[in-house]
Every structure is written in structure tokens, then in C-alpha cells.
């Protein structure tokens, strides 16, 4: 329930002042990808405290590391159990917000797409939200 409220609040905030998303520059693209990859690698290794460090300050204020780990296990089982992942095109608004679609694949190579929303905080990109995406995993990202 808390997760749904967070996702709804994030979606409303995004809709209120819809940014003009553009293809990101190489430095932004590389930094965003490193953040998402770092969190996914930590999750795959079962290091939820490490994965928590990639979360935006807003998420860290709302959830303790233990609650964050429980939220991942309950709300994002495909992410927790992924065997590999592929990141799509990184877009940003040139104002400190970025998005990227990530497809996670399970042991049977079935894919599930998620849209990662990130914010720039103190010179680093942090994950502010993750929602299931309607992108078809079989098409190129």
C-alpha cells in the first residue's frame, strides 16, 4: 500500500510539470546507467543495504534499509530474482531528472520491463522511483 501511494505521488508530481525529455549526453547517460547497474548488481548479490545507497534521499527518508529491502522483495520480485538485465535509452530533462527503461530477465530468459526515474542529488544520480513499464521486452530498447 505504501509503495502504491509512493508511485501515485511520484506520477502526479511528474504530470504536474511534465518535462521535455531528451536524449541524454554521454556523461549523464553513463552516470545514470552506473547508478541503475550498481543497484541491480547489489540486489542480485542480496546486498540490500548497498542497494539502498542508490536510492534518492526522498526514499531514504520514507523507508529504513530493512523496510526498503522488504519492499523490494514484496513489490519487485522480478527485480530481486533477475539473472541479467538490459538498459534502454537514457533521457533527461536537463534539470536534474532522468529516466531509463530496464528489462530484467529471469532464469528462463523471460523479460519484464521497468521504468527507472532518477534525480540528481549532490552531483550524483539517485533512483527516485521504479514502476512496471509497458515496453515490450522483445523489442530493442
| 117, β-bridge pairs | 99, 129
Specify the pLDDT at position 7: 45
Q: What pTM did the predictor assign?
A: 0.83
Tell me: the pLDDT tens digits for 35-74? Answer: 999 999 999 999 999 999 999 999 999 999 999 999 999 9
Cα–Cα distance, 101 to 109 (Å, whole number): 17
Say if residue 138's pLDDT is above 90: no
Give the burial class of 140: count Cβ atoms within 10 A of its Cβ; 0-12 exposed, 13-18 middle, 19 or more buried. exposed
Crossing angle of the two packed helices 2-16 and 65-75, in degrees rounded to 10: 90
8 pLDDT band (50/70/90 cuts)? very low
Tell me: the pLDDT tens digits for 108-126? Answer: 999 999 999 999 999 999 9
Domain 21-29+40-132: which CATH number of 3.10.450.100, 3.40.50.300, 3.30.2270.10, 4.10.490.10: 3.10.450.100
**Domain boundaries in the chain?**
21-29+40-132
Amino acid at each position: 500500500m505504501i509503495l502504491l501511494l509512493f508511485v501515485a505521488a511520484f506520477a502526479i508530481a511528474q504530470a504536474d510539470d511534465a518535462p521535455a525529455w531528451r536524449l541524454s549526453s554521454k556523461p549523464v547517460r553513463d552516470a545514470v546507467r552506473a547508478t541503475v547497474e550498481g543497484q541491480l548488481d547489489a540486489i542480485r548479490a542480496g546486498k540490500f543495504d548497498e542497494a539502498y545507497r542508490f536510492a534518492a534521499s526522498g526514499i531514504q527518508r520514507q523507508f529504513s534499509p530493512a523496510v526498503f529491502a522488504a519492499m523490494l522483495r514484496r513489490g519487485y520480485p522480478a527485480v530481486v530474482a533477475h539473472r541479467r538485465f538490459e538498459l534502454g535509452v537514457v533521457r533527461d530533462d536537463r534539470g536534474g531528472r532522468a529516466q531509463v527503461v530496464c528489462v530484467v530477465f529471469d532464469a528462463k530468459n523471460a523479460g519484464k520491463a521497468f521504468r527507472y526515474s532518477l534525480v540528481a542529488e549532490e552531483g550524483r544520480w539517485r533512483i527516485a522511483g521504479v514502476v512496471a513499464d509497458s515496453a515490450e521486452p522483445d523489442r530493442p530498447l
